[in-house]
């Protein structure tokens, strides 16, 4: 017996394999696509991907666990990644971090109870001249003040899902 | 234009040794390169590693992640050496010699780096050597001694960080001791194609885990224990049941018997400092009795029985398919005496379970008979018999715990001990096996044949089966076809071997099979196609070929062994393992075969007696089926949610 | 959510003056060996930080047999304090793709791949647009610029959040669908790279420079810089200065001169080359940015007098602990030890023996780690220890 959502999942992954090719090289693009749309890589998903690429599930789990943007844990509708590296630190990232945590009521690495926002640290995002900088999903925000941070959180809260999803 | 893609290569190249391709002719100019190691010149083939070059001139370089059976990883950095003219130290295990380089293997910089590597590994290696299963046989411990590590400069864990995983019947995991050398990962993915273990996460959080860190007992593990054999430390080890066996021995109510498989005999000596390949079969019998076992049996007896049952099954399948024209006969028939292979088949190719011989493994056949035939014969209460099996195998522990293995009305085999466990019991009992007098196995199963012995080597089951089938069918001695009866085409260590055996003539059907087939005419001039595969990665190759309708799908009979080399390379054998050690054990096994006067299973008098006295409706008969045959479970690969 | 202007400030960049397609046109008039020879003559060295001569890399790859070769643009710009590739890709993507095309021509590749870091996902549509437009213009695709048999295309592949994938063999592992773990070398990618085929991996800026060199000529390029460090370089300037941004300077500029340009004169130190670079104290500001003095991928982080150098070291080491691939022992377990030492120093509670052990360990990491990450991660901390000993050791144990 295959659950209907599993069937749906299989069709989706088969479509990706079709588009990207059945080789191992397709693994990361497939995982990126799924993660982007479903915000997580669950147990069934990784096993179906493994099956369709003819690799072992533990290999999929291993690869996913390696990359900061892929790890399997469920994420919120929006992901805020605050740059933690030196120039942003100099520019006042701590105050922004405090504002984000305060406004969201969560710590880094956590997701709000309503599943709306995940907060993470990012290694340098290449906005060192305009720090503090952060990514909201794939979009970059620079010279973020604590007030900006609160506004960003409010916008994420108000938004149903990722604009690009 | 899309993402470039290619057929999968399993091991990432970060974990794979790609040699610089040597020149084809060894005499060609440039085929040999001179390298100077610590001032001593060595001539090596172009592209050899520094490690190989150093060994060729007797220079030892310490290694941890390197293993002769595995792809090179180059991750532990223990083997770094100084190459003149280079700022960086280079790992000897991966660095190829392609020009006249000068290498120094123990400069101050090198010694310091190695010490640092050891001290770093010890900074996350929880556990006391004295209470470790690998005490005295641990590569980390040895190197710490060699390098005079006398402090934990970078700390040492006081508490375990993760719980041990004892969920498997066979393989235990204590990740607190893991040094992330990834030998187990490479073993499980590259050698076995099972894919249970991988490196998870990154940075100092890297750990070796199963899929989503599930307990080993609930993922697709075949219990082969090859990871255990290659683990340099005590992070992976086979379940230890020696206490339970001692308790049974200590209990005066219990009648404790042990059957000993052929492969451990060729390796037990290694635990007592003997060279690999020094058999201690008969000394071990004495040791077992002195340790307190009531009776000592030879698993070769039931190996012969397995041949009778499995051979009969094969003949019947062929008869049904070729003569009676039955369409639903599953061929080729697969051997089923390797419990690792059986579980591999159940997980990865469940649709081929009908091809597996229904005959139980020798261990389980013996188990079923001990608590029935033997108990009856000696007037013992089977409930008081504790049946122990000495096996070269960790998967046998799982096998004897299979719920279907209760055909005697009891658990047929109570404990499957590994060679290592029994060696430990001997040491605890003060029994120095090599110095003990020899003694024989006990009746009523005492007499064995050479056919049973060679079950311990890859190709052995096939050879035993062929010896018996050829003689039963042709009525001729197998020696008239093969010198000394050695069926050489199925021997050796090639991962997959294929052979065609022509039946030159047929004789009358012997009495023992008369109830199954009327004559052998249908086999006259027939070509029997057989194959042998060992290591489940090789098994996978054969299975995929069968699925694709390739040449192996045309075979009649295929022997599969989960472990490289067969049982002699089993997951319960002494550590370390490598090709030379396995070859030495094989040599001992084939020598023992030659020493037997009876070398064909059907000639084993104990087997004949068993059919005459107990399994009275003959091989493949009803009684035999009840006790000596089994069925399998289609497990599949899916790992369900917990 | 609307995108905001994220372009960086700085000075005028030469790339803005390079005529599009001029370099490719010039290159296509040359034989393949001559293209490589020109790159070698220009003295161009890799702009990602390692500084390997580009012509030599191309030559190795061109010398390999095989129909299938690749050229990869390393746009996994993850070094802390580096953002010049972002600027180049935003403003001069055409030049980068042109440089790849010239490289493809030179080594005999038919496919180029831009490996773009996940954090720059917002640049992907732009790059795809430029690629599309180039195909339309006939400078990508089949018979490029009418040259029969010169077929070359470019695709964009995305990283997934791993600094170590900036290391070229880790990048290739990632493209092949594996963990981004650096490979054993040799063999080098030029011999056995992507899917075992000969592969050149070049930094974004290197490829843009190639286009410029062919557009304006080798001599023009060599007029910039020093003998050993020819040409000009983009510097990503951030930290405690008035005018952070992307600056172009010829190689050989002193740290002091650079600081003057960006309004960072009061600095007590400058971190050159990102977290994996070196920390240069004020007394050494006369040193020059060049391969023969301070080689760099271009990150310049200005550290003002108010900063605690141990905070700097701590920030970098936290980064390396997080970003180590975790494959080899020295890097996997060494970086946490470095970090531990910094934390103890901050508390004024680092035992002298431990500090000495960690310093020695740093030396081991720099020679025994498998890749550049572990080989460079201790250098910032070690140079801070060397230059700011007083500041570090004089602090009292914290309450």
Q: How many CA atoms lie within 13 A of B279 on its CB side?
A: 21
- Model confidence pLDDT, tens digit, residues C58-92: 999 999 998 899 999 999 999 999 999 999 999 99
The pTM assigned to this predicted structure is: 0.95
Domain boundaries, chain C: 14-222, 232-303, 309-393
- Is B310 marked active-site? yes
Cα–chain center distance at C361: 26
Is there a single domain that holds both residue A94 and residue A153? Answer: yes
Q: What is the mean pLDDT of chain C?
A: 95
Contacts of A131 in chain C (CB under 8 A): 238
B178 is catalytic: no
Fold of the domain spanning C14-222: Rossmann fold (3.40.50)
- Chain A residues whose beta carbon lies within 8 Å of the beta carbon of residue C301: 86-87, 128
Give the integer Cα–Cα distance in Å for B570 and B564: 8
Q: Is residue A72 part of a domain?
A: no
Catalytic residue among B239, B343, B396, B397: B396
pLDDT at site B7: 45
pLDDT at position B452: 84
- Yes or no, beta carbons of B113 and C330 under 8 Å apart: yes
Exposed, middle or buried, A109 (CB in 10 Å: 0-12/13-18/19+)? exposed
Active site residue B428: no
Q: Say yes or no: do domains C14-222 and C232-303 share a fold.
A: no
Select from C80, C158, C299 the Cβ nearest to the Cβ of A32.
C158
- B144 and B92 part of one domain: no
CATH number at residue A85: 3.40.30.10
Do residues B174 and B306 both lie within one domain? Answer: no
Provide the pLDDT for residue A72.
Answer: 73
- Stretch (H or E) spanning B334: strand B333-334
Q: To the nearest whole angstrom, how far is the Cα of A111 from the nearest Cα of chain C?
A: 19
Which residues are CB-contacts of C220 (< 8 A; sequence separation ≥ 6)?
Answer: C213
Same domain, B343 and B480: yes
d(CA B45, CA B198): 34
In this structure, is residue A124 part of a structural domain? yes
Contact C367 B87 (CB under 8 A): yes
B404 part of the active site: yes
Residues B380, B294 contacting (CB under 8 angstroms):
no
Cβ neighbours for C80, distance < 8 A, ≥ 6 positions apart:
A85, A86, A87, A123, A124, A128, C274, C275, C299, C301, C316, C319
Does B538 map to a domain?
yes
Backbone angles phi, psi at C234, to 5 degrees: -90, 135
Contact at CB, B117 and C368, closer than 8 angstroms: yes
Q: Is B39 buried (19+), middle (13-18) or exposed (0-12) by CB count in 10 A?
A: exposed
Domain co-membership, A86 together with A28: no
How many angstroms away from the CA of A126 is the closest CA of chain C? 5
Shortest distance between the Cα of A85 and any Cα of chain C, in A, equals: 6
- The count of structural domains within chain A is 2
Per-residue model confidence (pLDDT) at position B16? 57
Same domain, yes or no, for A153 and A82? yes
Q: Which residues on chain C are in Cβ contact (under 8 Å) with A123? A: 78, 80, 163, 319, 322-323
Are residues B605 and B500 part of one domain?
yes
Is the same domain home to A58 and A35? yes
How many angstroms separate the CA atoms of C115 and C117, rounded?
A: 7
Structure confidence at residue C3 (pLDDT): 42
Per the structure, the complete domain to which residue B211 belongs is given by 120-238
In the Cβ-directed half-sphere of C137, how many Cα atoms lie within 13 Å? Answer: 13
* Residue A164 in domain: no
User: Distances from the Cα of B50 to the Cαs of B60, B106, C143, in angstroms?
Assistant: 11, 13, 47
From residue B234, alpha-carbon distances to B126, B175, B240, B500 in Å are 10, 9, 13, 44
Place of tokens 């098994």: B539
- As for how many domains chain B has, the answer is 3
Q: Contacts by A14-17 with C-beta closer than 8 Å and gap 24+?
A: A14/A52, A17/A52, A17/A53
Instruction: Evaluate whether residue B352 is within a structural domain.
Output: yes
In a domain, A71, yes or no: no
C-alpha distances (whole Å) from C388 to each of A26, C279, C282 are: 48, 10, 11
Place of tokens 């034989």: C31
Chain B residues touching C196 at Cβ < 8 A: 13, 18
In this structure, is residue A163 part of a structural domain? no
Is there a single domain that holds both residue B574 and residue B456?
yes
Which of these three, B106, B131, B155, is where a domain ends?
Answer: B106
Residues of C in contact with B179 (CB under 8 A): 329
Is B267 within the bounds of a domain?
no
Residues B339 and B213 in one domain: no
CATH number at residue B610: 3.40.950.10
Contact B581, B276 (CB under 8 A): yes
Is the separation of the CB atoms in C99 and C42 below 8 Å?
A: no
Q: Point out the domain boundary residue: B57, B72, B106.
A: B106
Q: Is B76 a catalytic residue?
A: no
Residue that is last in its domain, among B106, B141, B156: B106
Domain that holds residue A130: 78-158
Kindly state whether residues A92 and A136 are assigned to the same domain: yes
Look up the ipTM and state it.
0.95
Which residues of chain C are within 8 Å of residue B94 when distances are taken between CB atoms?
Answer: 184
- Chains A and C form CB pairs within 8 A to the count of 139
**Nearest-CA distance from A89 to chain C in Å?**
8
Q: How far apart are CA C190 and CA C197, in angstroms?
A: 8
* Domain membership flag for residue B258: no
C-beta atoms of B13 and C322 within 8 A: no
Q: Do residue B451 and residue B535 come from a single domain?
A: yes
- The list of chain B residues with pLDDT below 70 reads 1-29, 447
CATH number at residue B61: 3.10.20.740
CATH code for the domain defined by C309-393: 1.20.1440.230
Alpha carbon of C315: minimum distance to chain A alpha carbons (Å): 6
| C255-297 confidence digits (pLDDT tens) | 999 999 999 999 999 999 999 999 999 999 999 999 999 999 9
The upper half-sphere exposure of residue B541, i.e. CA atoms within 13 Å in the direction of its Cβ, equals 16
- Name which of B305, B337, B315, B331 is nearest B560 in CA terms: B337
Q: Are residues A85 and A153 in the same domain?
A: yes
CA distance C184 to chain B (A): 6
How much is the pLDDT for A159? 81
Q: B337 catalytic, yes or no?
A: yes
C:96-135 residues touching chain B, CB 8 A cutoff: 111, 113
Report the candidate in B109, B97, B101 with the shortest Cα–Cα distance to residue B49: B97
Inter-chain contact A23–C83, Cβ cutoff 8 Å? no
Q: Are residues B89 and B131 in the same domain?
A: no
The verdict on B520 and B599 lying in the same domain is yes
Tell me, yes or no, whether A95 and A142 share the same domain.
yes
pLDDT attached to residue B2: 53
Domain boundaries C232-303, corresponding CATH code: 3.10.20.600
Q: Which of A65-74, B184-193, C113-122 has the lowest mean pLDDT?
A: A65-74
- Annotation marks residue B351 as catalytic: no
Q: Are residues B131 and B101 in the same domain?
A: no
Clarify whether residues B223 and B165 are in a common domain.
yes
Residue C1 has pLDDT above 50, yes or no: no
Q: Are B164 and B158 in contact (CB under 8 A)?
A: no
pLDDT tens digits, residue range A138-165? Answer: 999 999 999 999 999 999 999 866 544 4
**Residue B556 placed within a domain:** yes
Residue A73 located in a structural domain = no
Q: What is the pLDDT of residue B602?
A: 86
- Chain C residue with minimum CA distance to B81: C368
Q: Choosing from B145, B404, B428, B500, which is the catalytic residue?
A: B404
What is the count of residue pairs from A and B with beta carbons less than 8 Å apart?
A: 71
Q: Say what the pLDDT of residue B10 is.
A: 57
Q: How far apart are CA A70 and CA A33, in angstroms?
A: 10
**Neighbouring chains of B at 3+ CB pairs within 8 Å?**
A, C
**CA B180, CA C25: separation in Å to the nearest integer?**
52
C34 touches B at CB < 8 Å: no
């Amino acid at each position: 017996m295959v659950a209907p959502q599993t069937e749906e999942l299989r069709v989706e992954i088969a479509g990706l394999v079709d588009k990207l090719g059945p080789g191992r090289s397709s693994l990361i693009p497939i995982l990126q696509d799924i993660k982007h749309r479903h915000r997580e890589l669950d147990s069934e998903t990784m096993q179906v991907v493994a099956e369709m690429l003819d690799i072992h599930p533990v290999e999929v789990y291993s690869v996913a666990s390696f990359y900061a943007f892929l790890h399997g844990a469920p994420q919120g509708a929006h992901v805020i990644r605050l740059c933690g590296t030196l120039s942003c630190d100099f520019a006042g990232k701590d105050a922004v971090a405090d504002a984000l945590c305060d406004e969201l009521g969560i710590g880094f690495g956590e997701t709000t109870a309503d599943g709306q926002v995940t907060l993470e640290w990012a290694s340098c995002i290449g906005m060192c001249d305009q720090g503090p900088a952060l990514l909201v999903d794939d979009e970059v925000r620079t010279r973020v003040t604590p007030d900006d941070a609160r506004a960003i959180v409010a916008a994420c809260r108000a938004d149903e899902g990722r604009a690009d999803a | 234009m899309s993402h470039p893609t290619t057929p999968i290569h399993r091991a990432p190249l970060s974990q794979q040794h790609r040699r610089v391709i040597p020149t084809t002719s060894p005499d060609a100019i440039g085929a040999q390169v001179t390298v100077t190691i610590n001032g001593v010149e060595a001539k090596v083939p172009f592209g050899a590693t520094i490690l190989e070059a150093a060994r060729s001139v007797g220079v030892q370089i310490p290694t941890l992640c390197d293993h002769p059976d595995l792809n090179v990883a180059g991750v532990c950095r223990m083997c770094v050496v100084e190459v003149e003219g280079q700022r960086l130290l280079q790992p000897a295990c991966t660095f190829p010699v392609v020009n006249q380089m000068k290498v120094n293997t123990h400069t101050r910089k090198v010694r310091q780096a190695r010490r640092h590597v050891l001290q770093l590994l010890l900074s996350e290696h929880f556990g006391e050597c004295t209470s470790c299963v690998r005490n005295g046989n641990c590569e980390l411990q040895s190197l710490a001694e060699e390098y005079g590590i006398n402090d934990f400069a970078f700390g040492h864990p006081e508490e375990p960080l993760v719980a041990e995983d004892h969920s498997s019947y066979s393989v235990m995991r204590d990740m607190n001791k893991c040094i992330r050398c990834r030998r187990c990962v490479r073993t499980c993915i590259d050698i076995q194609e099972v894919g249970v273990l991988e490196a998870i996460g990154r940075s100092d959080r890297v750990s070796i885990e199963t899929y989503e860190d599930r307990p080993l007992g609930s993922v697709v593990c075949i219990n082969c224990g090859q990871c255990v054999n290659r683990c340099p430390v005590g992070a992976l080890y086979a379940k230890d049941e020696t206490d339970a066996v001692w308790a049974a021995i200590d209990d005066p109510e219990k009648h404790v018997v042990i059957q000993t498989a052929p492969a451990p005999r060729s390796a037990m000596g290694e635990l007592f400092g003997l060279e690999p390949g020094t058999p201690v079969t008969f000394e071990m019998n004495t040791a077992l009795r002195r340790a307190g076992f009531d009776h000592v049996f030879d698993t070769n007896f039931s190996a012969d029985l397995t041949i009778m049952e499995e051979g009969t099954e094969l003949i019947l399948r062929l008869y049904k398919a070729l003569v009676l024209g039955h369409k639903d006969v599953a061929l080729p028939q697969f051997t089923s005496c390797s419990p690792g292979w059986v579980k591999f088949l159940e997980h990865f190719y469940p649709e081929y379970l009908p091809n597996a011989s229904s005959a139980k493994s020798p261990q389980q056949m013996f188990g079923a008979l001990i608590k029935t035939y033997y108990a009856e014969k000696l007037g013992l209460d089977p409930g008081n018999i504790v049946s122990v099996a000495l096996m070269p195998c960790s998967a046998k522990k799982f096998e004897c715990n299979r719920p279907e293995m209760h055909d005697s009305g009891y658990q047929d085999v109570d404990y499957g001990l590994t060679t290592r466990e029994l060696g430990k019991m001997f040491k605890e009992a003060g029994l120095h096996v090599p110095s003990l007098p020899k003694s024989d196995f006990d009746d009523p199963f005492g007499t064995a044949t050479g056919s049973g012995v060679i079950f311990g080597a890859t190709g052995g089951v096939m050879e035993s089966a062929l010896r018996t089938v050829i003689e039963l069918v042709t009525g001729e001695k197998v020696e008239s076809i093969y010198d000394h009866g050695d069926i050489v085409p199925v021997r050796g260590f090639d991962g997959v071997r294929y052979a065609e055996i022509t039946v030159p003539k047929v004789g009358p059907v012997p009495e023992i099979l008369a109830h199954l087939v009327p004559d052998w005419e249908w086999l006259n001039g027939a070509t029997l196609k057989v194959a042998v595969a060992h290591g489940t990665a090789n098994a996978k190759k054969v299975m995929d070929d069968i699925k694709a309708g390739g040449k192996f799908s045309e075979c009649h009979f295929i022997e599969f062994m989960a472990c490289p080399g067969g049982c002699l390379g089993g997951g319960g054998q002494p550590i370390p393992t490598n090709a030379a050690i396995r070859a030495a054990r094989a040599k001992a096994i084939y020598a023992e075969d030659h020493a037997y006067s009876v070398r064909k299973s059907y000639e084993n008098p104990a087997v004949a007696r068993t059919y005459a006295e107990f399994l009275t409706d003959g091989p493949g008969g009803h009684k035999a089926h009840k006790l000596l045959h089994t069925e399998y479970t289609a497990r599949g690969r899916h790992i369900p949610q917990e | 959510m609307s995108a905001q202007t994220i372009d960086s400030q700085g000075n005028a960049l030469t790339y803005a003056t390079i005529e599009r397609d001029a370099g490719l046109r010039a290159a296509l008039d040359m034989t393949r060996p001559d293209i490589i020879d020109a790159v070698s003559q220009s003295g161009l060295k890799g702009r990602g930080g390692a500084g390997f001569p580009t012509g030599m890399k191309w030559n190795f790859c061109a010398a390999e047999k095989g129909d299938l070769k690749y050229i990869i643009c390393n746009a996994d710009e993850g070094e802390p304090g580096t953002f010049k590739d972002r600027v180049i890709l935003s403003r001069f993507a055409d030049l980068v793709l042109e440089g790849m095309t010239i490289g493809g021509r030179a080594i005999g590749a038919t496919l180029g791949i831009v490996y773009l870091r996940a954090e720059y996902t917002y640049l992907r549509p732009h790059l795809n647009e430029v690629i599309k437009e180039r195909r339309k213009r006939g400078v990508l695709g089949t018979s490029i610029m009418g040259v029969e048999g010169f077929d070359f295309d470019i695709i964009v592949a995305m990283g997934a959040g791993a600094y170590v994938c900036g290391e070229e063999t880790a990048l290739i592992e990632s493209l092949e669908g594996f963990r981004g773990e650096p490979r054993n070398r040799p063999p080098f990618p030029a011999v056995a790279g992507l899917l075992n085929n000969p592969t050149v991996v070049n930094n974004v800026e290197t490829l843009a420079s190639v286009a410029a060199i062919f557009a304006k000529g080798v001599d023009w390029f060599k007029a910039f810089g020093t003998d050993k460090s020819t040409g000009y370089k983009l510097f990503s300037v951030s930290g405690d200065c008035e005018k952070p941004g992307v600056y172009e300077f010829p190689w050989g500029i002193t740290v002091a001169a650079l600081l003057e340009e960006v309004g960072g004169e009061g600095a007590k130190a400058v971190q050159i080359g990102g977290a994996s670079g070196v920390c240069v104290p004020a007394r050494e500001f006369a040193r020059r940015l060049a391969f023969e003095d301070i080689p760099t991928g271009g990150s310049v982080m200005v550290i003002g007098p108010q900063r605690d150098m141990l905070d700097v070291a701590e920030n970098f080491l936290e980064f390396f602990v997080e970003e180590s691939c975790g494959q080899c022992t020295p890097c996997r377990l060494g970086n946490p030890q470095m970090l531990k030492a910094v934390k103890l120093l901050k508390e004024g509670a680092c035992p002298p023996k431990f500090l000495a052990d960690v310093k020695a360990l740093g030396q081991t990491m720099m020679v025994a780690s498998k890749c550049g990450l572990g080989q460079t991660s201790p250098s910032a901390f070690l140079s801070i220890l060397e230059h700011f000993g007083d500041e570090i050791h004089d602090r009292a144990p914290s309450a």
